[in-house]
Amino acid sequence: MPNTETGKIRNVAVVGHRGTGKTSLVEALLYESGTTNRLGSVAEKSTVSDYDDEERRRGMSISATVTHLEWRDRSINLIDTPGEPSFQADVLSTLRVVEGAIVVVSGVVGVEVGTERLWRRSEELGLSRLLLVNLLDRERADFFTTLEGLQSRLSGRCVAVELPIGTEHEFHGVVDLVHMVAYMHDGDAGVHDEPAEIPDDLKAVADEYHDKLMDVVAETSDELMERYLEGDEITREEMATALKKLVTEGQLFPVGCGAATRNIGSHGLLDLIVEGLPSPARARNVPEVGGASTLAYVFKTIADPYSGKINLLRVFAGTLTSDSTLTNNHTHSKERIGQLLSLQGKEHAPVDGLPNGAIGAVAKLKETGTGDVLSDVDSPAEIEPLAFPAPVVSFAIEPKHKGEEEKIHTSLRRLQEEDPSLDVHRDAQTGETIVAGLSQMHVEVTLERMARRFGVEVNLHPPRVPYMETIRKPARAQGRYKKQTGGRGQFGDCHITLEPLAEHEGYEFVDKIVGGVIPQGFRPAVDKGIQEAMQQGELARCPVVGVKVTLVDGSYHTVDSSEMAFKIAGSMAFKKAFAEADPVLLEPIVRLDISVPDESVGDVIGDMTSRRGRVGGMDPAGGSTTIHVEVPLAEVLTYAPDLTSMTGGRGDYQMTLLRYEEVPAHVAQHVIAEANKEKELAKA
């Protein structure tokens, strides 16, 4: 890293909804700064940041990628993040280690649901933000409509600092509203660095938006406001200084314009990054480091089959050096820091050290993963753990070739280190290996990576709905287990009551034995037997939830009774009581926030109604509408292709698990029949 002064570092996340051109923007900034000698293209699969095979094949970012450049004696770390909600774990991790964000918005579609989600998260973390209205050279692009959407849906403090010159295919430059000059794009020659006169047909509009900018800036300074109202001239240098302060403090959000694939707008954006976004030395969101003189936070892990595990980290205190030894404050183990690396996409360059504020990587740490803190003291101040979204779609997998079960387990464990939002577990009901993610695409990409990196291929079964079972009324039953053999026998006897818990949640065991009819040492075994029985209900072999069990009576034998006997008796009692307690099947209900073009709203709502969905509201904005729906997960397991078909590829959605509800009788009958069929096949 050429510039190691903390005050001259800028850590910036490039965020936005899928398809807004974030990767193309990173390529334009690398090219404009002279870091690369050609403008990388997503279409030509030649970008620095989207280098993974799956990314290039799909034409979209899947992982967060670190790049860096130099501009005006500043070191800028740019982290290109995925816009697809399936891969939001990387975005959430990235936002933890930067001081500023560039929010990229489509000039065609405007503010989308993903933009709003990322804006709220950036606000929570106290990040300074710039906005770029991209794709302004596309048909139907409209900067002014998009600006209105930004102000109404994100913040009234979003203020234009640039205006486009020309519209759609004739977009060929920008007006700088701070210095009131124009920068023109000249075809293959790129953008002229020398400022030019504002075109005559734009002067009136430029004056109007310059005055709006002056008003907003002046409002935040009593001194400037007083001079402004008295008619005193505020110089452009004074306005630029005030604007820089407001952006750094997160009080104002400048909006620029551009077309990244033609390198329009990147020069001005680089200046805004340097002048507006704070350095680590001036940031508002740097965590407390306690008594640590050296502290680094791991925000991403890469599972490389050749280099091993690579941890990406941000230094929050001191200087991180090779051959030093730090403590992992999660595992409390010692980690020796090996060769430190500077990242440029897939390229890794060795560096001697990483100063406070820097972002880099280190390979082959033994027990360190995403979210861990490395420091020179055992207990520094805690950094709030990352809260990743819960997986909502599950698939069962099996090896294509026999004998590769262990290899699959090892490969998935390494990929899980890379993606904490992924869940891999063994289903106790079926014995299957389950891979759960945020969408069908999320799981498919994971398995594609496993095949390419580790040479393991699997068969993927259709998504499984995580149904559960519960009860609707109280019941009482006895479980009596007696077995007499030639020697010592087995005897356990217990009486329990079963009651439903509110909201179909949780499990509660109450011991109300009096008089020693069951010795104290055997009562936990009853509880254990009940919990094991709850793993497979009697309706469809699904886990049982939302029950309160009270142990009320029983008997024992001084010789034959044992923990195992009472465990079996508890299981027997539970199964009898459950069958008499009006058992019912529960299904997961999810919330979908579906962003679609206005012309597709009717089709999408009609489709949701046919899936037992309940529309809870709609938010129209700038040619698109976000529809909020509550719908059973079983109805939307493979929703993405259907939405693509209905919207011509312009629809998007985010899924959140809400709660469990009772399954309608006709649906429950089908689920139970399928479970019974599977049970019979398993016996055969």
Helix (H, G, I), strand (E, B) or coil at 387: coil
Cα angle vertex 65, ends 62, 70, to 5°?
150
Instruction: Answer yes or no: are the C-beta atoms of 624 and 383 closer than 8 Å.
Output: no
Outline where DSSP puts E strands in 305-378. Answer: 308-317, 320-321, 325-328, 334-336, 340-344, 347-351, 353-354, 359-363, 373-375
pLDDT tens digits for 299-340?
A: 999 987 777 789 999 999 999 999 899 999 888 899 999 999
Mean pLDDT value of segment 157-181: 95
CATH classification of 586-666 is 3.30.70.240, yes or no?
yes
| The predicted structure's pLDDT at residue 638 | 77
Give the separation between CA 434 and CA 425, rounded to whole angstroms: 5
CATH class assigned to 393-464: alpha beta
pLDDT tens digits for 343-400?
A: 999 999 999 999 999 999 999 898 999 999 999 987 766 777 778 877 777 888 999 9
Chosen CATH of 295-375 out of 2.60.40.420, 2.40.30.10, 3.40.50.280, 2.40.50.140: 2.40.30.10
pLDDT tens digits for 50-66?
A: 888 888 888 889 999 99
Give the separation between CA 133 and CA 626, rounded to whole angstroms: 20
Phi and psi dihedrals of 44, rounded to 5?
-90, 0
Outline where DSSP puts E strands in 48-172. Answer: 65-71, 74-80, 100-106, 128-134, 158-160, 162-165
Mean pLDDT value of segment 164-187: 92
**Residue 526: closest CA among 538, 546, 542, 509:** 509
**Residue 357: closest CA among 297, 316, 319:** 316
| The predicted structure's pLDDT at residue 191 | 56
| The predicted structure's pLDDT at residue 428 | 66
pLDDT at 513 over 60: yes
CB atoms within 10 A of CB 495: 21
Mean pLDDT value of segment 477-501: 91
Give the separation between CA 76 and CA 101, rounded to whole angstroms: 12
pLDDT-derived band at 192 (thresholds 50, 70, 90) equals low
DSSP string, 581-627: S-EEEEEEEEEEEEEEEGGGHHHHHHHHHHTT-EEEEEEEETTEEEE
Least confident of 10-19, 296-305, 472-481, 493-502: 296-305
pLDDT tens digits for 106-140?
A: 999 998 878 888 998 999 999 999 999 999 999 99
Shared fold status for 6-276 and 586-666: no
Report percent pLDDT > 90 for the chain.
62
CATH classification of 6-276 is 3.30.565.10, yes or no?
no
Q: What is the mean pLDDT of the chain?
A: 90
Give the separation between CA 496 and CA 484, rounded to whole angstroms: 24
Q: Which two tokens stand for residue 353?
A: 């050290």
pLDDT-derived band at 288 (thresholds 50, 70, 90) equals confident
Mean pLDDT value of segment 258-278: 94
For residue 554, what are the CA distances in angstroms to 491, 516, 524?
11, 9, 14
Mean pLDDT value of segment 199-227: 87
pLDDT-derived band at 193 (thresholds 50, 70, 90) equals low
pLDDT at 48 over 60: yes
pTM equals 0.78
pLDDT tens digits for 22-45?
A: 999 999 999 999 999 999 888 888
pLDDT-derived band at 190 (thresholds 50, 70, 90) equals low
Q: Which residue has the tokens 């929050």?
A: 316
Domain residue extents for the chain: 6-276, 295-375, 393-464, 469-581, 586-666
| The predicted structure's pLDDT at residue 316 | 94
Outline where DSSP puts E strands in 382-474. Answer: 393-399, 423-426, 433-437, 458-460, 468-471
* Residue 485 amino acid letter: T
Taking each helix axis as running N to C, give the angle between helix 266-276 and helix 22-32, from 0 to 180 degrees, rounded to the nearest 10.
80
| The predicted structure's pLDDT at residue 684 | 61
pLDDT tens digits for 561-612?
A: 999 999 999 999 999 999 999 999 999 999 999 988 889 999 999 999 999 9
Sign of CA dihedral 399, 403, 409, 414: negative
| The predicted structure's pLDDT at residue 1 | 45
- Structural domain 469-581, CATH architecture: 2-Layer Sandwich (3.30)
pLDDT at 480 over 50: yes
Mean pLDDT value of segment 544-551: 96
